[in-house]
Structure formats: structure tokens, C-alpha cells
Amino acid sequence: MRTILFSSQTYDRDSFMSADLPAGIELHFQPARLSLDTVALAEHHEVVCAFINDDLSAPVLERLAAGGTRLIALRSAGYNHVDLAVAKRLGLSIVRVPAYSPHAVAEHAVALILALNRRLYRAYNRTREGDFSLHGLTGFDLVGKTVGVVGTGQIGATFAKIMNGFGCRLLACDPYPNPQVEALGARYLSLPQLLAESQIISLHCPLNEQSKHLINSEALARMQPGAMLINTGRGGLVDTPALIDALKDGQLGYLGLDVYEEEAQLFFEDRSDLPLQDDVLARLLTFPNVIITAHQAFLTREALGAIAATTLQNIAAWAAGSPQNQVES
């Protein structure tokens, strides 16, 4: 089966070529992002392997189906970028990687918390320039602080375990309480209650119609003044322009993002020689209490290996007539 991997970087090639390749699968790596402009590259490929910022809207899916594609193999857990109704109408199967390494994303969220709290980025730049003063670098002890975990699936539960190890008090919000998180002493609350009581809020929920812009101006106003917000989930969970006002008036004290609602045209590419056209992102980058990473939370050797192995198993299982990890419309 001819399989084309869109948005494939060097690390994707390395992880897929290091995995056990099932018989009959022929891999073709394409660094370009899947879009209407590039969909022609998928012609005569039975399988299209897509990542989170590839365009899988109705027009693209129609072109894929017309070109002979029968399976969309996602290299991600999320599938909000896929028009499932159209895929079903066209007879396209969708499979995904429901879990790879929850530790990778959870640990990155913790890294953002520590870097923001202790101003590591400012301290690093200072000492490189010979400035060894400590003004403006005061942080706070994590022990005893209240951490709100929004979404307690595998990643959220792993994050909660790590923060429990710091001695934090845990609050959680999820329509389906996780017994593992409850065993850590976490209390499940409504989102408004969690926002009001937490000093650190970390988002680990999927993006859907109910969760889109879960954090908006109203939600930000409910937070404690100076609270920290971390998002390693999906960019659309946050109404990004609302963050700017909250940062300007001090309502939001710290912000760590690994995802951004308009990231599709920006992330995973070197654009350092080009002017930044996104005014909202440009404004966020001016704040000294903001750290933005370019959707790298998943980027560990262990996670990449698991993504490659599961994706190849998904393709092989579909070819054998016993699909696994299938996304239902």
C-alpha cells in the first residue's frame, strides 16, 4: 500500500524508518502540509498519513477520494481537523493514535510551569550577557499551591500525578471523573469553581464544540488575579485575543502555550527570516511573563516511536480487514 506522510519532518522519517514496517506498506515522506494546494501529491496513494495541522476539510477529502485514497491515518490523538461527515460519505476510513506517551505532554506542561515561575528564560539571557543580578526573578514555592487540571484523561492524570509529587493541592474538571486522579486527593469541581480556586490551571481536554474557547474573557475574569494558565492541549480551547487584555491588566500573571489556534500556517517551519504576520501572536510574544513553544510537547523519542508503531499497526490492521483505533463519525 502506497502511503504518503504529509507534514513529515526529519524526526518523523527517523522514527518510521526505525519501526517494524509491516509487509506491503510503502512509505513516501512529504514535508509539505496537506492542503488544497498540495493534495495532488497524494494521487495514487491508498493511504494518507496526516498530522494535526494538515487540512482535512471537505474539499481536500473529496480530492483525496477522487485520487484513490481510502484511508486517512492520523499521527495524532486529536481529530477535530477532520470533516468526519464528509469522510463517511466518501467512504474514507479514519484511524488515529489514541495514546502515545502521556508523559511527554504532561512533563512539557510542568516544564512550562517551572520556567515561567522561576523566570528561567530571563535568567538564562541575563547571565549570557554578564548580568548576574536577581531583580525581577522572584518565583514561588509550588508546594501547597492549588493546581486545576481541566481534562483528566491519560495526559491530565499523568500531569496530576507529577504536580501531586510537588505537594500541590489538586482540583479537577472533567465530565468523567478519573478514579486515579481522585486517589491523589483531587476534588472534581465545575469549571467556574476550579478557575476561582486555582493558582495554576492546565488544559488537557480535547477540542470539540463544547470546549471551543473554554477559556474566554469571562473565564479569565473568574481566575484569581495573577494566576498561571498552561495550554498543551489544543489551541482552540483558548480565545487567544482575550489573553492579551488579561495579561495587560495583570489578571493573568503567567501564560504558557504549546498550541495556538492559528498555528497551522506557522508552526513546524523556520520562519525566522520572515516578518510575523500574525498580530495576536506577535503581541503575545512581547510579554515578559509569556512562554510559547511551537507544539513540541509530543516531541520525545519515546512518543515518536509509539506514534510510528501505532500508525503502522493501524494501517496494517485496516488492510487486513480488522481496523483498530478507528474514528467514528
- Dihedral pair phi/psi, residue 77, rounded to 5°: -85, -40
Residues in CB range of 328: below 8 A, 6 or more apart: 84
Instruction: Band the pLDDT of 99: cuts 50, 70, 90.
Output: confident
The residue annotated as part of the active site, out of 295, 301, 302, 328, is: 295
- Please tell me the predicted confidence (pLDDT) of residue 135: 95
Percent of the chain's residues with pLDDT above 70:
100
Burial of 94-111, coded b for 16+ CB within 10 Å and e otherwise, reads: bbbbbebbbbbbbbbbbb
**Which one of 44, 234, 262, 271 is the catalytic residue?**
234
Q: Whole-angstrom Cα distance, residue 149 to residue 145?
A: 13
Residue 329 pLDDT > 80: no
- Answer whether 0.85 is exceeded by the pTM: yes
| Banded model confidence at residue 19, pLDDT cuts 50, 70, 90 | very high
**Computed from CA positions of residues 109, 114, 119, 124, in that sequence, does the dihedral angle turn out positive or negative?**
negative
In the predicted model, what is the mean pLDDT of residues 179-193?
98
Reported as a pLDDT band with limits 50, 70 and 90, residue 289 is very high
**Beta carbons of 257 and 282 less than 8 angstroms apart:** no
Mean pLDDT of 19-34: 95
295 is catalytic: yes
Q: Which residue in 263, 271, 301, 302 is the catalytic one? A: 263
**Residue 135: active-site member:** no
328 is catalytic: no
pLDDT for 78 equals: 86
> Mean per-residue pLDDT for 134-140?
96
Q: For residues 229 and 45, what is the distance between their CA atoms, to the nearest angstrom? A: 42
Over range 2-30, report the average pLDDT.
Answer: 96
